[in-house]
């Protein structure tokens, strides 16, 4: 399974503390970023360390502006240096993807060695594992094996979306089925995605009606005004 770790998760250790607020004091982040947040290093040599038990790990970030970032990724003492350039759009960029790892505990250290302002902000980490505890979040993306679509659901793949992928439908009656059998006691289920009839693939005046249900329960309407613009 894929476990997703937000940049603000307490399991990530920042040395020294990374920037989490803008100059006006508001939290750093954009709606397109996971949980709407990001973290940026404060000086060359700043690190973010994460300990995990799994077989593969990926790091995703925002690469903003025309600046560059000189990053170094270390797993169990093996160092991978990377020079990354700012891109547009900047979101959900895969900046590091490890090789397949032995099934044991590992330590990932992200070090930003950029001189001057860095284009890199940490958004989230995803790692593969066979086990999890109740405090961890499992990521099921629209491309996950447990997700199936009924009706016409063409893809709309852009960097505004998690994992750069999405599916959309303009036909009434289209449905998505998500199957997951590793629930723990007190687990919660969250659904993210654009929810608006302003989608460029839909007529701007089209009626809008979406609902969700769990285990064939009573459907719950999803009003568009309560949904994030993207996730």
Eight-state DSSP code of residue 169: -
Report which DSSP code applies to 189: -
| pLDDT of 219 over the 50 cut | yes
User: Which CATH number, 3.50.30.30, 3.30.1330.10, 2.40.110.10, 2.60.120.260, labels domain 2-128?
Assistant: 2.60.120.260
Two structure tokens written together for 175? 């449905």
Half-sphere exposure for 183 (CA within 13 Å, toward CB): 12
Q: Which pLDDT belongs to residue 75?
A: 96
Confidence of residue 48 (pLDDT cuts 50, 70, 90): very high
pLDDT: which is higher, 54 or 222: 54
By the 8 A CB rule, do 109 and 47 touch?
yes
Return the number of other C-beta atoms located less than 10 Å from residue 51's C-beta: 12
Compute the distance between CA of residue 140 and CA of residue 109 in angstroms, rounded to an integer: 25
Q: Is 153 helix (H, G, I), strand (E, B) or coil?
A: coil
Q: Is the pLDDT of residue 71 over 50?
A: yes
- Return all residues near 33 (Cβ < 8 A) that are at least 6 apart: 62, 91, 92, 123
Model confidence over 113-145: pLDDT tens digits? 998 878 899 999 999 998 887 778 888 888 888
Q: Is the pLDDT of residue 148 over 70?
A: yes
Q: Measuring CA to CA, how many Å separate 35 from each of 86, 124, 131?
A: 22, 9, 23
185/136 Cα distance (integer angstroms)? 12
Residue 65: its pLDDT value, please? 76
Total-model pTM: 0.83
Alpha-carbon span 139 to 5, nearest angstrom? 9
Task: Break the chain into its structural domains and give their ranges.
Answer: 2-128, 140-231
């Amino acid at each position: 399974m894929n476990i997703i770790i937000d940049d603000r998760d307490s399991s990530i250790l920042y040395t020294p503390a990374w920037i989490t607020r803008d100059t006006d004091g508001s939290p750093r982040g954009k709606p397109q970023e996971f949980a709407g947040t990001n973290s940026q290093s404060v000086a060359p040599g700043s690190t973010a360390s994460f300990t995990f038990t799994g077989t593969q790990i990926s790091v995703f970030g925002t690469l903003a502006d025309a600046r560059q970032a000189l990053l170094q990724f270390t797993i169990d003492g093996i160092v991978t240096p990377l020079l990354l350039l700012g891109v547009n759009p900047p979101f959900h960029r895969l900046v590091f993807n490890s090789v397949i790892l032995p099934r044991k505990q590992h330590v990932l250290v992200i070090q930003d060695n950029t001189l001057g302002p860095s284009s890199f902000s940490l958004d989230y980490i995803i790692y593969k594992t066979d086990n999890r505890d109740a405090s961890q979040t499992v990521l099921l993306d629209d491309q996950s094996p447990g997700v199936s679509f009924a009706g016409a659901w063409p893809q709309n793949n852009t960097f505004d979306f998690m994992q750069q992928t999405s599916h959309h439908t303009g036909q009434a009656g289209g449905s998505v089925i998500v199957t997951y059998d590793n629930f723990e006691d007190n687990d919660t289920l969250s659904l993210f995605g654009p929810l608006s009839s302003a989608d460029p693939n839909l007529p701007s005046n089209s009626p809008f009606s979406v609902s969700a249900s769990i285990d064939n329960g009573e459907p719950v309407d999803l009003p568009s005004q309560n949904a994030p613009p993207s996730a």
